[in-house]
Structure 1
């Protein structure tokens, strides 16, 4: 379920190799030494293990939030055969648009090459 600044994802296992998860992703604009950024907080559980992590993405890389959340989920036990369906979720477009709006970014805005490799 999406609302501006928050996405709640939940999955119950369907097949034996699946693991259950419930993730609440909150985000808000922040500021860093490199300029505007987006602060993400991910809480919940994956396979019965608690998740409570945060990370920041520079404004020009905040569009890559789904990849960052997927990497975080892998570190917390989500198997390679399963995905956190953010990019498949219908709320992805709403979250993407909300992040771009909050950061004042638009399609076609440049990416600062110095930020690449920091995600």
Structure 2
């Protein structure tokens, strides 16, 4: 489920996959014409493991937020197959579009490769 600034993905547990209910809230900060930061709040549960992390990413690497989410889940010990996160295009595609619009990103805009490798 998606609405601007909010995405939810859920799946009951099965023999093949852990169950999860994850909520990712986000907003941008900085000048209205060209916001500098995307701020995220990931919370919910994965196989009864509570998840709660707040993070922010610079605008040029913010659209790589799913990589950060995957790393956060791994760091918190959540047993979630990473491919599962990337499989919800119906949920994440509108979020990517909304985030790019809020950040006023334009195709071909350069990114800082050092920042991408460090934060992304």
Normalising by the smaller structure, the TM-score range is 0.7 to 0.9
Matches within 5 A, 1:32-111: 36-79=36-79, 82-83=81-82, 85-89=84-88, 90-111=90-111
- Please, what TM-score do these two structures have when normalized by structure 1? 0.84
Q: Could you say which structure has the greater relative contact order, defined with CA pairs below 8 angstroms and 6 or more residues apart? A: 2
Residue correspondences, number: 114
**Structure 2 unaligned blocks of 5 or more:** none
Q: CA RMSD in A?
A: 1.9
- Partners of 1:52 and 1:79 in 2: how far apart? 15
- Partners of 1:23 and 1:67 in 2: how far apart? 15
- Please, what TM-score do these two structures have when normalized by structure 2? 0.84
User: Where does structure 1 differ by over 3 angstroms across 4 or more consecutive aligned residues?
Assistant: none
**Structure 1 unaligned blocks of 5 or more:** none
Contact 2:9 2:91 in 1 (8 A): no
